[in-house]
Structure 1
Amino acid sequence: MAALSTGAAKAHEFWLSPDDYTIAPEDVMAVRLRVGQEMKGAALSYLPNAITRFEVVQGDTVRPVEGRLGDNPALQMPAETDGLAIIVHETADSELNYSDFAVFQRFVAHKDFRTALADHAARGLPETGFRETYRRHAKSLIAVGSGAGADRAIGLKIEIVALANPYTDDLTAGLPLLVLLDGAPRADTQVELFQTAPDGTVTITRHRTDADGKVTVPVLPGMEYLVDNVDLRALPNDDSKTGPVWHSDWASLTFHTPGEAQD
């Protein structure tokens, strides 16, 4: 997990990557923790000290993931019941020291934090030598057997909820999503959609939630998807020498659409 403490890893996405998004009951769910760019990245091993929460949710049943040190895939558990499985993973905090202000500038521009640079200057913060803590909040949807069921809010600091089941519902008009921060809808925020085709081609589009924190993203049959949303907030410390001055929380959701990709 040391890779997550580097500046490069922080700027990259973190997501849950099932070996197979559609499995039969009693088959083993194998899910990797990935960090990288454009849906390509290293698989991280199971390290308990780097994990705050790791669960499999099916209906009213919540099963903690209890891996062994170094497991890769980090999650290897049998699917006990038919239906939609929600995989939940929350990391511990990591810390980044900015030695190049351009890295911070690119980050806030990419994730659409429109006032961050002005706020940074107004707080009297330096352009180098300041620190940020960050935490990842990831979910993935796996269809076990019929895949029937629904995603729901499961209490992460920041999370993306699918308002339709990507395995059983009609997605002709797209997949509706809800973005939550502290349990409340997050209005007018950027959502990044990564689409991976069977040949590995990745297409990235950006979307915005409405006043109710909802957005419908376009999806096609036979594709893997990652949805991303990030929050950045100022910490109550304006002295960069005494501790971190910013904190970011990252939400991700992965799923796969059924059917065959069209040429």
Structure 2
Amino acid sequence: MRILAALFAFATALPASSHEFWIEPPAYQIEADGIIRGELVNGQEFIGSQLAYLPQRFERFTVASGMRQANVENRLGARPALDIAPLAEGLHAISYQSRLSTISYAEWEKFVNFAEHKDFADYEDLHDARGLPREGFTEGYWRFAKTLVGVGHSAGNDFRTGLATEFVALDNPYTADLTNGLRVQLYFLDDTLADGQVELFEKAPNGTVDITLHRTNEDGIAVLPVKAGHSYLVDHVILREPSAQLAQQADIEWETLWAALTFGVPE
């Protein structure tokens, strides 16, 4: 919480929305001499609006491959926001950590729909037990987005990049046999997250999107069914009471942390 509270000191407003946020490359695999590109996207059902490269909106934006890591840099306002040379051949993990943004709820039903969609347990009892109003309250939210891009031979393993909540792919989507699915492990701070809802958005080559729900096991692992030629967004949201310090600084009653992972599966 100390880290999150510190990040708030740099917070600026983002578009008020409880939609998903993700990094979407036009190509999840590129040649060794290619360029890694990707849009920052805010939307629903794996479709949304592309956002420009604006450092005031993020706390960190990095690329890592093997033992190499670098900051993602670009022109102010550039699109796509991700437009960099690879660090080497192999699997690249690109991570984005937003600054704190807020959304206010004028209607209880809007919060209920969001809470039930994201599978928050006992949210109503917790809300009432804290003596919070059912209208005119505010949520602060953080985005922790990650994408996997294969460069050249695309070999390598995904790993934790330091996001507060993060999916780690236990199988390389570009080199592994995915007949039995692709395994992802969900983390929150220093621990894996058991029995968490994992929302899987599957985009077909023709642009249609299917959505399925999955759950992590006792080790925080979910096995996701995937298809050749499709791309994927994996999403999980944590709802919690903010620390007293953050609640006062940001003037919020609830705090959400959004984890997103995108990848493609080769033909």
Regarding TM over 0.5, the answer is: yes
Aligned to 1:168: 175
1:197 maps to a residue whose letter is A
User: Given that residues 34 and 44 in structure 1 are in contact (C-alpha distance below 8 angstroms), is that contact kept between their aligned partners in structure 2?
Assistant: yes
Deviations along 1:203-236, one digit per CA (max 9) or x if unpaired, are: 1000010111111011111100000011010124
Aligned to 2:5: none
Q: CA deviation at 1:75?
A: 1.2
**Residue 156, structure 1, aligned to residue 163, structure 2:** yes
Q: Identity over the aligned pairs, expressed in percent?
A: 44
Aligned to 1:116: 123
Aligned to 1:255: 263
Match of 1:65 among 66, 72, 75: 72
- What's the TM-score, normalizing by structure 2? 0.92
Per the alignment, do residues 3 and 13 of structure 1 end up closer, same or farther by CA in structure 2, a change over 3 Å counting? farther
2:260 maps to a residue whose letter is S
1:61 maps to a residue whose letter is R
Match of 1:130 among 129, 132, 137: 137
Aligned to 2:207: 200
User: Given that residues 51 and 79 in structure 2 are in contact (C-alpha distance below 8 angstroms), is that contact kept between their aligned partners in structure 1?
Assistant: yes
In 2: Cα distance, 1:104 partner to 1:229 partner: 17
In 2: Cα distance, 1:42 partner to 1:96 partner: 18
Deviations along 1:158-214, one digit per CA (max 9) or x if unpaired, are: 000000000000000000110000021100110000000001110100001011111
In 2: Cα distance, 1:244 partner to 1:3 partner: 14
User: Given that residues 13 and 102 in structure 2 are in contact (C-alpha distance below 8 angstroms), is that contact kept between their aligned partners in structure 1?
Assistant: no
Match of 2:148 among 112, 118, 141: 141
In 2: Cα distance, 1:13 partner to 1:210 partner: 23
Gap regions ≥5 residues in structure 2: 1-11
SS of match in other structure, 1:150: coil
Deviations along 1:2-46, one digit per CA (max 9) or x if unpaired, are: 99431xx22x11000012111111211111100111111010001
In 2: Cα distance, 1:135 partner to 1:144 partner: 29
SS of match in other structure, 1:96: strand
Calculate the aligned-residue CA RMSD, in Å: 1.8
User: Given that residues 13 and 100 in structure 2 are in contact (C-alpha distance below 8 angstroms), is that contact kept between their aligned partners in structure 1?
Assistant: no
Aligned to 1:103: 110
In 2: Cα distance, 1:71 partner to 1:131 partner: 31
Aligned to 1:76: 83
Gap regions ≥5 residues in structure 1: none
In 1: Cα distance, 2:33 partner to 2:147 partner: 18
Aligned to 2:6: none
Paired residues, number = 255
**Residue 222, structure 1, aligned to residue 229, structure 2:** yes
SS of match in other structure, 1:5: coil
**Residue 5, structure 1, aligned to residue 12, structure 2:** no
User: Given that residues 236 and 245 in structure 1 are in contact (C-alpha distance below 8 angstroms), is that contact kept between their aligned partners in structure 2?
Assistant: no
Aligned to 1:52: 59
User: Given that residues 25 and 37 in structure 2 are in contact (C-alpha distance below 8 angstroms), is that contact kept between their aligned partners in structure 1?
Assistant: yes
In 2: Cα distance, 1:103 partner to 1:19 partner: 33
Deviations along 1:26-76, one digit per CA (max 9) or x if unpaired, are: 211111100111111010001111011101101100010111110110011
User: Given that residues 155 and 183 in structure 1 are in contact (C-alpha distance below 8 angstroms), is that contact kept between their aligned partners in structure 2?
Assistant: no
- What's the TM-score, normalizing by structure 1? 0.93
